[in-house]
Structure 1
Amino acid sequence: MQPTKFETAIALIDKKNSEDVNVYKSNGLDFPKELLYSQRMSQKLLQFKPSASRALQIAARAQHICRWKIARDEYPMDRVGYLKWRETLKKMHADLTADILKEVGYDDEFIDRVCSLITKKLIKKNEESQILEDTVCLVFLDFYFEEFAEKHEDEKVIDILQKTWKKMSEEGHAEALKLKFSDKSLTLIKKALA
């Protein structure tokens, strides 16, 4: 049986992300960092919204496609530099994904929809954009938060938690509160939300 356009697109996104030179350890195994991240995005999206559209599933999987190709330190290490870096990354993620979707035969309308999601247009105004943002936040909280919290001062962690919370919907908040956290993390979360 031929793989579907959707399956082929996901496989091509994974192929690109498997080239990541950065390694992330999980359960004693080494993974290409962005490949693991993209698979976690898909898993979390489908736990959160089992009926997510194909466009949303592809946008979640391609959220960080080839992210390592544009290093943070190529931009000034301040807020403006950070925002410029993020904008450049979003455009690259969208362009790479658009090329893959064209290659597998998706039409322009579908491709535009996926790219609009990847570039985070209309968060809070578009339901799918908000679901994607919630998923990004849930993946951070579930898989990367504890490690982040260990490396930073409590004030910074609380600030990041508050910023993360602001980006999320009520539904996203409810989902986040179901996650398992260490006692220390729970304390920080309660402080952030107080």
Structure 2
Amino acid sequence: MSNNPADDYPSTAAFTPTSRFLVALSSFRAMHLRDPSSPTTAADEPAPAPAPGASTPSLRYHSTLELYARKLSALSTVDALRRGPGEALLLAAASQHVRRWERPRKDYAEGLSGYKMWRTALNKFHADIAHDVMRQAGYVEDDEGDAELFGRVRDLLLKKTLQRAPLPEREDELKDPEAHLFEDAVCCTFLHLEFTQFASSFAGDRDKLVRLVAKTWAKMGPLGRGVAVQELVGKLGDEERQVVLDAVKGAGAAAA
């Protein structure tokens, strides 16, 4: 077996990995391995060579995000999505939050307006990196098919086609089911990897935490909510689980 997981990358019914896709995936992996929050990686050090079992918080995030993208696709009621994530969705998943440490939240103003500016800047930053990685891997901007792929990856990362809450109860009633599947995968990854630590930062303001979780829940479609309830919420600690349940109850009341 190869030392580079990209060489053993699993196909889906919708997409068989190409050599240029695997080159792009390897480039993203090298970036994820440079996550300075890892105790074995410093930001000013050369990127380490990919090795079996090598991991960083960034790499774990993206592995988990792709896992949920594949899981949600398998559960989808939309035929095109049930065949598995396509090339654009897989590339977007690989570049979501890539090199996020280069755009820290502290560089933006406190409060909601500063947060929104930071998120908008991050989305563009990730989309620009994805574009450059794809181009360097052999995707051609002037090719009609590739140009469409460039645009789709960018749209997914910029979240251009997401509908505002309340969302329809049926997945096939969404205007862009793939974009919402991607958002659901992002939200599930947050619950899986980050929520417990996130919740601990609101120890003195439970009501605010409940409101924030309710906003996350409102962004999720039926697929993501189903996976969250069946596989994630029950694994949280008692306090965190009750926060989510209270948020879900509040989100339901607001939508009624």
- What residue number does 1:150 align with? 200
Counterpart contact for 2:181–2:223, Cα < 8 Å: no
The aligned amino acid for 1:19 is R
- Between the aligned partners of 1:83 and 1:39, the Cα distance in structure 2 is 26
| Cα distance, 1:82–1:174 mapped onto 2, change above 3 Å | same
After superposition, residues 98-113 of structure 1 pair within 5 angstroms as 98-106=131-139, 107-113=146-152
- Between the aligned partners of 1:187 and 1:85, the Cα distance in structure 2 is 29
After superposition, residues 122-141 of structure 1 pair within 5 angstroms as 122-124=161-163, 125-141=175-191
Q: Does 1:168 align with 2:220?
A: yes
- What residue number does 1:34 align with? 58
Unaligned 5+ residue runs, structure 2? 1-6, 8-17, 40-52, 75-83, 140-145, 164-174, 250-256
The aligned amino acid for 1:11 is S
Counterpart contact for 1:158–1:191, Cα < 8 Å: yes
Counterpart contact for 2:72–2:223, Cα < 8 Å: no
Which segment is superposed worse, 2-11 or 91-100?
2-11
The aligned amino acid for 1:112 is G
Counterpart contact for 1:62–1:93, Cα < 8 Å: yes
Task: Kindly state the Cα deviation for residue 31 of structure 1 after the two structures are TM-superposed.
Answer: 4.6
- What residue number does 2:38 align with? 23
The TM-score normalised by the length of structure 1 is: 0.89
SS state at 2:90 partner: helix
- What residue number does 1:78 align with? 111
The Cα RMSD (Å) is 2.0
- Between the aligned partners of 2:100 and 2:88, the Cα distance in structure 1 is 20
- Between the aligned partners of 2:236 and 2:212, the Cα distance in structure 1 is 16
- What residue number does 2:50 align with? none
- Between the aligned partners of 1:91 and 1:76, the Cα distance in structure 2 is 18
Counterpart contact for 2:61–2:193, Cα < 8 Å: no
| Cα distance, 1:109–1:89 mapped onto 2, change above 3 Å | same
Counterpart contact for 1:130–1:169, Cα < 8 Å: yes
Which segment is superposed worse, 180-189 or 49-58?
180-189
Structure 1's consecutive aligned runs of 4 or more residues displaced over 6 angstroms after TM superposition are none
- What do the CA deviations read for 1:66-108 (whole angstroms, capped 9, x no partner)? 1111121111112111111111111110011101111122222
